[in-house]
C-alpha cells in the first residue's frame, strides 16, 4: 500500500529502465504477431531477403531492404496501437474511428509500396547490369 503523496508507480532508471523497455518491446512484438498483416509482412521480409541473397545482391542492398522493412514493422505496430485505442474508445461505428483506422492503413500501404518498389528496383538493377 502506498502512503499519502507517494506515487503508485515508480519509474525505473538506469539499467533497470533498459530491461523494462526491452520487456515492453518484446511484449509489443508478441502482440503484433497476432495481426495477420504483420505475419504477412514478416513473410515478405523473409522472401525478399532470400531473393536478394539468391540473386547475389550486395550487402548494401540487403541492408537497405531490411531497414525499410523494419520501418514498415514500426508503422504496423503504430497502426495496431491506433486500432486498439479506437476499438476501446469507440466500440460502435464512428467516423473518427473509421478515419483513424483508414489513415493508419494508408501509412502501412505506402511503406509496403515503397518496399516492393525498392525490391523490384534492386532485382531489376542486378539483372540489367
Q: For each successive 10 residues of the chain (129 residues), what is the average pLDDT?
A: 65 84 93 97 98 96 98 97 94 90 96 98 91
Give CA–CA dist 33/27, Å, rounded: 10
For residue 7 the three cell numbers come to: 506515487
Prediction pTM value = 0.84
Q: Which CATH architecture has domain 35-127?
A: Orthogonal Bundle (1.10)
For residue 91 the three cell numbers come to: 466500440
* Buried/exposed code over 101-117 (b: 16+ C-beta within 10 A; e: otherwise): eeebeebbeebbeebee
| Residues taking part in catalysis | 76
Amino acid at each position: 500500500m502506498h502512503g499519502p503523496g507517494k506515487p503508485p508507480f515508480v519509474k525505473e532508471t538506469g539499467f533497470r529502465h533498459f530491461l523494462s523497455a526491452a520487456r515492453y518491446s518484446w511484449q509489443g512484438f508478441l502482440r503484433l504477431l497476432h495481426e495477420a498483416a504483420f505475419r504477412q509482412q514478416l513473410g515478405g521480409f523473409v522472401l525478399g531477403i532470400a531473393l536478394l541473397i539468391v540473386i547475389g545482391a550486395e550487402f548494401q542492398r540487403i541492408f537497405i531492404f531490411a531497414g525499410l522493412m523494419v520501418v514498415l514493422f514500426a508503422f504496423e505496430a503504430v497502426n495496431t496501437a491506433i486500432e486498439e485505442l479506437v476499438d476501446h474508445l469507440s466500440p460502435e461505428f464512428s467516423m473518427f474511428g473509421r478515419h483513424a483506422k483508414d489513415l493508419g492503413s494508408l501509412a502501412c500501404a505506402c511503406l509496403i509500396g515503397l518496399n516492393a518498389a525498392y525490391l523490384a528496383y534492386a532485382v531489376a538493377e542486378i539483372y540489367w547490369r
